[in-house]
């Protein structure tokens, strides 16, 4: 099937709107002859200077520079000295909002995804059930920071009808110490691919 990446206008929406609408869409990467794809089942929104848990809360730095680009870019950061995490930048340029990709349901390129994770393909639920896991599976690291999702070899596309509200749940974000009261984590109800057990329904 032809690949239809999302238009820039999708990413220029507010972060909370993008976060909810990302569920059920597909992260895709073309690498060599392989096409990797996973259905997005869990995300978290981060709202820049209005959000103490955001990397951009205290302003622009060399590390968070990509967050200040216009929506539709991939912000990749390194954490705990060993993991990369990928975020979708949202809103107009200068508004450092982003949505963390927390978990995917692996769909295409399973053999490559498993090799990247050094796991057997049969461990399907473990391949992308966490932000660091999905980045490892898709080979997303430092050099992918700043990737334009509207062009190039990494993008997001729609393949299915949008999810209805009854299929989506929200909860506080995971693994943060500030602004923990915000219900800015969105996930697909009942998905066995959601990270960990937190909030799974």
Report the percentage of the chain scoring pLDDT > 70.
96
Tell me the per-residue pLDDT of 30-44, one tens digit each, with 9 for 90 and over: 998 899 999 999 999
Average pLDDT of the segment spanning 136-158: 97
Over residues 46-83, the pLDDT tens digits come to: 999 999 999 999 989 999 999 999 999 999 999 877 89
Q: Tokens standing for 126?
A: 């473990």
CA distance from start to end of the chain: 32
DSSP string for 68-116: GSPSSBEEEEEETTTEEEEEEEESSTT--EEEEEEEEEEEE-HHHHHHH
Q: Which domains, from first to last, does the chain contain? A: 8-188 (3.10.300.10)
Say which DSSP state 147 is in.
-
| Position 157 pLDDT exceeds 70 | yes
Mean pLDDT on 143-167: 96
Structure confidence at residue 197 (pLDDT): 58
Whether residue 194 is predicted with pLDDT greater than 50 in this model: the reply is yes
Q: Which of 5-9, 81-85, 161-165 comes out lowest in average pLDDT?
A: 81-85
Q: For residue 176, what pLDDT is reported?
A: 87
pLDDT score, position 199: 47
Beta strands in 111-184 (DSSP E): 154-157, 168-171
């Amino acid at each position: 099937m032809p690949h239809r990446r999302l238009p820039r206008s999708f990413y220029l929406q507010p972060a909370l709107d993008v976060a909810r609408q990302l569920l059920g869409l597909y992260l895709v990467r073309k690498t060599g002859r392989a096409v990797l794809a996973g259905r997005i089942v869990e995300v978290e929104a981060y709202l820049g200077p209005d959000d103490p848990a955001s990397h951009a809360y205290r302003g622009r730095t060399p590390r968070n520079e990509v967050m200040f680009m216009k929506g539709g870019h991939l912000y990749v950061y390194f954490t705990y000295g060993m993991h990369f995490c990928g975020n979708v930048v949202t809103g107009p340029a200068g508004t450092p909002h982003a949505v963390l990709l927390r978990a995917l349901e692996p769909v295409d390129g399973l053999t490559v995804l498993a090799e990247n994770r050094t796991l057997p393909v049969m461990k399907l639920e473990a391949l992308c059930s966490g932000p660091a896991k999905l980045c490892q599976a898709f080979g997303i690291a430092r050099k992918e920071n700043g990737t334009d999702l509207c062009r190039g070899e990494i993008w997001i596309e729609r393949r299915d009808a949008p999810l209805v509200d009854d299929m989506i749940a929200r909860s506080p974000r995971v693994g943060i110490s500030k602004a923990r009261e915000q219900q800015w984590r969105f996930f697909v109800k009942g998905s066995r691919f959601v990270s960990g057990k937190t909030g799974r329904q």
